[in-house]
Structure formats: structure tokens, C-alpha cells
Amino acid sequence: MTTPDLNKPSAPGTLSHWTEEQGKGTLFSGINIGTETVNLVVMNEDDILHAHTEVTEEGGFIVSQRLLEQAKRKLMLPAQSRMTLAATGIGKKTVTFAQKQSSDMVCHARGALWLFPEARTVLDIGASGNRAMSVSKAGKVEKFALNSKCASGTGSFLWGMTKVIEASFEEMTSLSSGIEHGTKISNYCAVFAESEVISKIHGGEPKSRIVAGIYDAVVDRLMEQLNRVGIREEVVVTGGVARNTGLIRALERRIGRKVRVPQDPQIVGALGAALFARVNVGQE
């Protein structure tokens, strides 16, 4: 698993430190309103200037305004600066003041390709769903596949398992380290899978093998989508769940190759929206 350092201002696809000169042109922002988090990215023509992720229950309109104002203060934007905003995600239509809107699938593909120009397969793992995409060199989504069975293979499924196992994501990763073949978790439904895990705990199965089995079960679901679009290098994994190192290791073992994970995988959709704002500014 490799990650780009988003704190190096000189490299393509990285965060840049703000300068007064950069504020004289148009800035581009993207906001991704997800089921559990809201992500904001502000960039100029070449670099990411600001990125922020927040877990909130606020409505999309209110949180978007607040995060944009916070970004403007943090960047100390000069009065002459201009900003174009594009919205994406499940709540994109609530951001009524956005000049542009785009699907989260297209935005994740754009963002992943900007960070990793050789990306040809993008796997987005979110709180409530997954999607696999085959992406062209130009950034066009050529094929896609969505999860269709309950919540298995998603962040909500893994979050539920942390409560059953009584371990954090970090502890689950540590428990599964070195375990290549976990206990079989056969149920697709999250509710029944939790009952199955509880039964295995009561049966004396080691937690390390159970956790490895949970990761294997999630990878089973992810592979269904990846196989439908075809796996082409490079493979990039986006979404907050990509921060779970144990899951990424299990995925890499299954596909037999390393995958690329951005340093901040949860902002990739917002980055793609900002890129969409940049490309389309002045064209309508």
C-alpha cells in the first residue's frame, strides 16, 4: 500500500501552502456531502490549498456555507479572489449555491486520476456503499459496478463489527496482522453476519482469526464489483474505509498486487468536484 504525501507543495497532486500571489486568480472548491461526513477541497489551477473532513449531522446547505467560510478565513483570501464551487455526493442538491454539480462516481474517478495518473481501476469504499470503476487515461468512467447486497462490504458493516469484537479499527488491524486465512463468515446480511461472529466468539474462536475472517468477508463483496469491471493497474482505493490498513492488506492479498491509497482517501470525491469546477469554469 503506497500513499502520496499531501503535505508536499511542490509535487503534482499535493497540498500547497497558500501565497498571496495564488489568490489573484480564480479558486476552485469541491464539496462532497456524504452519509456521515462532509469533505471540502479548495484548489487553484495546480495545487490543493485546503482540505477538510468533518463528521456532522448538519444539513448540506448549512455545513457547506460554514466550511467554506472557515476555509476563506484560514487561507486569508484577498478581497479580489474568486471561487467556483462544485458539489457532489448524496446531498449535493442541498448545496443550492454551488455553480456546478457532478455525480460522486465521476468525482472519485477524477480525483483518483489526478493523484495517480496511472490509475485505471478505482474502488470507492464509503460508509453506506461501495463502487468499482474502470477509468480511461482521460478520466472517463468506462465501466462501473455498485454493491447490491445489504450493507456488507461498507464502512457501516465494519463499524458494526468493531462493537461486536469490542475493538477499534486500529486494534482490529493489529489482531489480523499475520493471519492469512481467517474464520469463514458466510452471511451477506450485516445483521446475520454479526450474529454469526457472536456465535464464533462464544464458541472460543480466536479473535485474530475472526477479525481476519471479517476482512475476508468484506473483500469477497469488493471482489464482486472489481471482477465485474475488470482489474487493471493501477488500482486506487478511495473513501474513508481505505484508511483501514487491515482491510487494504486483505484486499492486496486477494488481488495479488499492491493498491494505491491517498494519504487522505476521504477527500478524493471533493477533490474530483473541485477539478470539475476548474475544468468547466467559463464554459457555460
The answer to whether the Cα torsion of 22, 82, 66, 105 is positive or negative is negative
* Mean pLDDT value across residues 236-253: 94
18 pLDDT more than 60: no
Nearest residue to 49 (alpha-carbon basis) of 279, 281, 274: 274
What's the confidence (pLDDT) of residue 4?
41
Classify strands 37-43 and 48-55 as parallel, antiparallel or unpaired: antiparallel
Residue 28 has pLDDT above 60, yes or no: yes
Instruction: Decide: pTM greater than 0.75.
Output: yes
- CATH code of the domain made up of 21-108+267-280: 3.30.420.40
Read off the pLDDT band of 188 (50, 70, 90).
low
CA 83 to centroid of chain Cα atoms: 24
Q: How much is the mean pLDDT over the chain?
A: 86
Residue 152's pLDDT band, with cuts at 50, 70 and 90, is low
- Rounded average pLDDT over 240-245: 93
The answer to whether the beta carbons of residues 76 and 65 sit under 8 Å apart is no
Whole-number pLDDT of residue 211: 94
Task: Report the alpha-carbon distance of residue 76 to residue 42 in Å, rounded.
Answer: 13
Q: For position 215, what pLDDT does the model report? A: 92
Asked if the 130-261 domain carries CATH number 3.40.30.10, the reply is no
CA atoms within 13 A on the CB side of 167: 17
Q: Domain residue spans in the chain?
A: 21-108+267-280, 130-261
Domain 21-108+267-280 matches domain 130-261 at the CATH topology level: yes
pLDDT score of 139 more than 50:
yes
Within 8 A by CB and 6+ apart from 199, the residues are none
pLDDT tens sequence across 89-135: 999 999 999 999 999 999 999 999 999 999 999 999 988 789 999 99
Q: What pLDDT, on a 0 to 100 scale, did the predictor assign at position 12?
A: 37
pLDDT tier at 32 (50, 70, 90 boundaries)?
A: very high
Of the CA atoms within 13 Å of residue 136, those in its CB half-sphere come to 6
pLDDT of res. 179 = 86
For the residues 264-277, what does the mean pLDDT come to?
96
In this prediction, residue 280 carries a pLDDT of: 55
